[in-house]
Chains A and B, each alone.
Chain A
Amino acid sequence: MITFAPGNLRIPRWTRPVYMVAAGLTDFRKRYPEKKLEELCMMAFRMLLEENDLKRDPLDVKGHINFACYGEFADHFQDQLLCEAKVHDYLGLDLLPNVGIKTGGATGGSTMLVGATTIASGMSDCTLVLGWERMDEVKTWTGNYYIASAACKDFETRLARNYASYYAPMARRFQEMYGVDERVRAEIAVKNRGYACSSPFAQQAGHHTVDEVLSGEIVSDPLRFLECCAMSVGSAAALLCSEELAFELSDNPVRLFIAGGSHTLRTGDRRPMRIPLLPHETEEGYRWLYDEMQKHDGRWPGFESFGAARFAAYLAYGMAGIQNPIEDLDLVETHDAFTISDLQTYGDVGLAPYGREQDYVTSGECYLKNPRTGQQGKCPANLSGGLLGTMHAVGATGIFQCGEVLWQLQGKYDKFHGDPALWSRYGRQKPADWQSLQVKDPRRGLAISHAGVGSHVTCAVLEKGW
């Protein structure tokens, strides 16, 4: 049993507020031989400087940058250590300081977190956060070999060398303990890949059906092909500022709160503990769940939930003053590398009680347009298309998520997804049936960045700052 001392539960108190004013993306592809990695990073950097309605010329904005934080998941893929130095030079940022950040699948989120602390501490007034991944130098199954290096080398890597096979037992256990209908998992794949159809950045958009997902090839039982994200290439960037500079550069800067949690890499080593409660939850409210767990030799977080995500949400909600996530949040980007991790996350971040995640999805509140009510869902999820539909160029992912939430809060979904010129920039044609996925007047959004079967998770709350 893990227990916390009071000191462990301190809510972070930043010295000064942190704002996000701009984002930039490349499009994302499984293979991108047309451009070198640095050239892709320049694409994201230029969009950040030139297309976010900043009130200064791009080079003037660049003249404010004090620090850069770079996210890259795995050096293996490119056979290049210190890629940060190459990118930094290519963006013309020498001799400014930069650091590289690595926390597996949560690398993008952790890069945002470290970038935010450079602003919060006064180290920097303006920090570039930029991430990338280039996974196309090797064949897919060798890529899986590399990614499986993020399982425990001594005790687990040799048992699959394919990361889906480390999530799949969690899916199996979650499904059987909570009586999850696999059609609900499939529905998540259909929804997120469907939303990707509105994104010019998306790598694997598609209008699928639940039956199509369920009849697909199995990657690792019970996860099917369309329930898993793909190898991806691309870059994402964010610009973080102090309050004073944020309003100097932008009429609609977004306040950023971000925190993280972590848990051991081996799921089976996660010892039982009491659920750390969010502000809207009570111990009494989970009595039924503890009773239920006893019947199945269950434990929290066990294989069903992500303790690191719960801890990150606990800290971030404390920072941002979130009292009840389903009421206080207007949209969320989950780390849907696999359908099961999307489902599990709703309990971790308190959008649904633990054990009721399936009911939350079938309630329709995770849709932009709730299929049950025809009204806007309470907290639409992964309107960006998520990892399943749009991208998982790992080091860029958590930054991409924050960028998509930023644009939603600024009311710029259409600007960054509906402009035919943007589609053609990436060699794509805007679909005739394109639909706007702009949330109506959102105030706050959430972005969850997640690594290694839940080893590292960051939780970012973005809030309208104007």
Chain B
Amino acid sequence: MTILNDKVTLNTAPAVIDEIGSAWVVHNPRFGPEGTHFHTYGLLTPYFRGLTEGKLRATRCINPGCPVGNGNGDLWLPPRADCPDCHQPMVWQEIDNPRGYVYAFTHVARGGTGLEIDCPYYQIDVKIEGVGTILKSYLVDRQPIKIGDRVRARFHTGADATHTCLDLYWELDA
């Protein structure tokens, strides 16, 4: 894990993953090995796999018959496999060098039992360039922030990867 004194760190071990077909099935231990929940990422596996490779992948609808996207729908993050407007499968699109700004935020002084992010930290809602939705994530910097601050994406990759949404985080884009 990243260890920098003034930066937010994680206090978790990488989640165990089974690869079943094209899907990642993540182990969520509850009551030891016999009491583990095996949770599939299903068709969203390319998103979580992408994070561990330093890639941010979104989905969009390209169905010309879609009443909302008309063949050129907005990017969705979090991604979803099927379009809610026309029910057709969406396609993946990687976002190069993802940047955005802080749309909303809170400073989390304390989280509930099992929180894997070391408090305090900023939970941020990021408006990413080119994306229609607003993505909830966290900021690695601890200095005071405000709505509108520019941020850029960073990733926990390789041996640092947790295989969860925590693999995406953001840093202030000076």
Please report A residues at the B interface, Cβ cutoff 8 Å.
Answer: 1, 139, 141-145, 147-148, 152-156, 158-162, 165, 168-173, 176, 218-222, 266-269, 271, 297, 303
Whether B117 contacts A170 by the Cβ 8 Å rule is: no
Report how many residues on chain B are interfacial, defined by Cβ distance under 8 Å. Answer: 36
Contact between B112 and A144 (Cβ–Cβ < 8 Å)?
A: yes
B117 CB contacts on chain A under 8 angstroms: 158-159
A141 touches B113 (CB 8 A): yes
B137:A159 contact, CB within 8 angstroms: yes
Counting chain A CB atoms within 10 Å of each CB, the highest count among B39, B41, B133 belongs to: B133
Q: Which of B31-73 contact A (CB under 8 A)?
A: 39, 41, 44, 68
CB-defined contacts of B103 to chain A, threshold 8 Å? 173, 268, 297, 303
With contacts A144-B113, A158-B164, A266-B78 taken as known, whether A168 is within 8 angstroms of B106 at the C-beta atoms is yes
B residues 123-142 touching A (CB-CB < 8 Å): 123-125, 127, 132-138
Known A-B contacts A155-B78, A266-B136; the reply to A220 vs B112 at CB < 8 A is: no
Chain B residues lying within 8 Å of A139, measured Cβ to Cβ, are 113
When the two chains form their complex, are residues B107 and A220 in contact, meaning their CB atoms are under 8 A apart? yes
Q: What's the least CB distance linking B9 to chain A, in Å?
A: 14
CB-based contact B104/A169 at 8 Å: yes
B-side interface residues toward A, CB under 8 Å? 39, 41, 44, 68, 76, 78, 103-117, 123-125, 127, 132-138, 147, 164-166
A356–B133 Cα distance when bound, in Å, is: 26
**Once the chains bind, are B147 and A142 in contact (CB under 8 Å)?**
no
**A268 & B136 in contact (Cβ 8 Å cutoff):** yes
- Given A159-B137, A268-B125, A269-B78, are A172 and B114 neighbors across the interface (CB < 8 Å)? no
Q: Chain B contacts of A148 at CB under 8 A? A: 112
Nearest-neighbour CB distance to chain B for A143, whole angstroms, equals 8
Given A172-B147, A173-B104, A220-B106, also A267-B125 (CB < 8 A): yes
Q: B residues within 8 A CB of A158?
A: 115-117, 164-166
Instruction: Give bound CA distance, A176 to B164, whole Å.
Output: 31
CA distance A152 to B77 in the complex (A): 13
| Residues of chain A with a CB closer than 8 A to B109's CB | 218-221
5 examples of A-B residue contacts, CB within 8 angstroms: A139-B113, A148-B112, A159-B138, A172-B104, A222-B106
**Chain A residues whose C-beta falls within 8 Å of the C-beta of B165 in the assembled complex:** 154-156, 158-159
Q: Which of B39, B111, B134, B147 contacts A160 (CB 8 A)?
A: B111
A161 touches B113 (CB 8 A): yes
